[in-house]
Amino acid sequence: MPSELIIQLQQPNGDFICEKFDNFPAPKSAYVAICFTNTAQAAQLAEELKVSFINAIQNLGSVRSMPSCGSSSVGFDRCRALSVNDNTKLLVVVTDGLSNDFAEPAILGWTYDKLPVVKAGIPVTLPTPFEEINAVFWKGAIDEIVPTLFGLTGISDIEQRIFISYRRSDASEFAIQLFNRLGQEGFEVFLDRFSINPGVNFQTRLYQELADKAMVLFVETPEYMESGWVQKEIDFAKKYRLGLYVVNIDNAPKVKSLDDEFRHPVTLNTARELDPVALDELVLLIRQQHAVAIYRMRNYLSTNITTALFDKGGAPQTDPNGFIVVADRAGTNEYSIWATPRPPVVNDYHHSDTSNQAGRTMVMVGPEFMEQKREIVNAWLCGKTAVHFYNEGEILELCNQIYP
């Protein structure tokens, strides 16, 4: 069945009002409860965060529907979504720093995932169990937190990986500034100056790193297209549908093959860097674009798989764990297919191997390009688990295996 979202917002009396959204853009369904510390300002911030999150998922195709409870006001610990075994459960705690008390004491007994949300620069001490959880901070507006919610609910990925494409001769200072700042924000960033050791095949390493990232950040400068590598990086990113985002420096000539829709103009200071406010704005935009890029890559891959299965006469469904489930024509053999938009890692194999139900054949479908060493590790993991791997170019082969 398609994924759904149950989202609850705390009311001033401590109860929660429930809302439901079908076609939730994540492999698994999710239950998100948003609460706040006992001040009017924190309550307003929680409302703003809920609205921003709902707007974001509706932009990705989610549709509002009626929850089974009829949107009644109940304590969050009595929501029916808590009884679902395989959904993501997340409690978001919004505080303005003026109070550490909660209108609903039962919140302190929450045993699932927790996310404290705090304005940067405000000292906050939350009661157990929230003081042990790493908070997420916002600076200008609380909707900056939405990409984090995307990651924690499975729309995108907790791991944020980005490739910076730039020209050393006229963008080094800015590229290094962005590399450092994104690293502080939790991104895994590829920048050739720091990421390629001497003696390594440059082109092989570039393609390996591009394939492992969800998004490429292109830094447009006057000398950008003079590099022979730039067009190769653009072509690779487009061929494998990586997210694209362009930072245009000081009104530099635009690369014709990159669309204005994903272009952000900036002006550097005399040190050839961005001022702090402009840097904050850019990092927020990058986080938002990265979250959407992961969703689009996974959705494209999953759609290709289900379409190919339908074309062969199958009736694929999505189970609560996010697997595409289909049976052969005789109905005697079932297959669970996990789609991963980036080269699979150990967690993908662990999730697939430990989710095996009723003797299903476990299959993983990943991107078509994989660097040779990664292919060797991938083959080794297949041998250590009961998971069969197909790349995107082998989807038809997989369908023919299920429906000979």
Q: What does the pLDDT look like over 63-85, one tens digit per residue?
A: 999 988 877 767 777 788 888 88
Tell whether 214 and 136 lie within a shared domain: no
Tell whether 268 and 379 lie within a shared domain: no
Helix (H, G, I), strand (E, B) or coil at 150: helix
Across 120-212, where does the E strand assignment appear? 136-138, 160-165, 187-190
Tell whether 222 and 280 lie within a shared domain: yes
What is the overall mean pLDDT for the chain? 88
**Within a domain: residue 372?**
yes
**What gap in Å lies between CA 344 and CA 61, rounded to an integer?**
26
**What gap in Å lies between CA 149 and CA 163, rounded to an integer?**
22
148: left (phi over 0), alpha (psi -120 to 50) or beta: alpha
- pLDDT for res 213: 86
CATH number for the domain spanning 280: value is 3.40.50.10140
**Within a domain: residue 302?**
no
Tell whether 99 and 231 lie within a shared domain: no
- pLDDT for res 132: 67
H helices of 66-118, in order, are none
Tell whether 132 and 182 lie within a shared domain: no
CA proximity to 60, closest of 304, 298, 318: 298
Tell whether 199 and 268 lie within a shared domain: yes
**Within a domain: residue 286?**
yes
On whether the CB atoms of residues 6 and 18 are closer than 8 A, the answer is yes
Tell whether 272 and 394 lie within a shared domain: no
Examine the fold and report which residue of 245, 262, 295 is the final residue of a domain before the chain moves on.
295
On whether the CB atoms of residues 91 and 112 are closer than 8 A, the answer is yes
**What gap in Å lies between CA 27 and CA 317, rounded to an integer?**
12
- Residue 245: which pLDDT band, with cuts at 50, 70 and 90? very high
Instruction: Examine the pLDDT at 193 and tell me if it is beyond 70.
Output: no
Question: Among 20-29, 57-66, 106-115, whose mean pLDDT is lowest?
Answer: 106-115
Higher per-residue pLDDT: 36 or 101: 36
Examine the fold and report which residue of 113, 131, 152 is the final residue of a domain before the chain moves on.
152
**What gap in Å lies between CA 154 and CA 88, rounded to an integer?**
8
Tell whether 117 and 173 lie within a shared domain: no
Tell whether 136 and 195 lie within a shared domain: no
Provide CB contacts within 8 A for 111, sequence distance 6+: none
Examine the fold and report which residue of 295, 322, 350 is the final residue of a domain before the chain moves on.
295
Q: What is the pLDDT of residues 17-26, one digit of tens each?
A: 899 999 999 9
Tell whether 235 and 335 lie within a shared domain: no
CATH number for the domain spanning 381: value is 3.40.1350
Dihedral of CA 291/296/302/306: which sign? Answer: positive
Instruction: Examine the pLDDT at 391 and tell me if it is beyond 80.
Output: yes
- Number of domains present in the structure of the chain: 3
**Within a domain: residue 341?**
yes
Tell whether 100 and 187 lie within a shared domain: no
H helices of 64-137, in order, are none
Higher per-residue pLDDT: 16 or 393: 393
Bridge partners of 327, per DSSP, are: 334
Q: What is the pLDDT of residues 145-168, one digit of tens each?
A: 999 999 999 998 888 899 999 988
Bridge partners of 284, per DSSP, are: none
Please tell me the pTM assigned to this model: 0.80
- pLDDT for res 73: 67
Tell whether 148 and 165 lie within a shared domain: no
Domain that holds residue 343: 312-402
* Bond preceding residue 129 cis, omega within 30 of 0: yes
Instruction: Examine the pLDDT at 198 and tell me if it is beyond 60.
Output: no
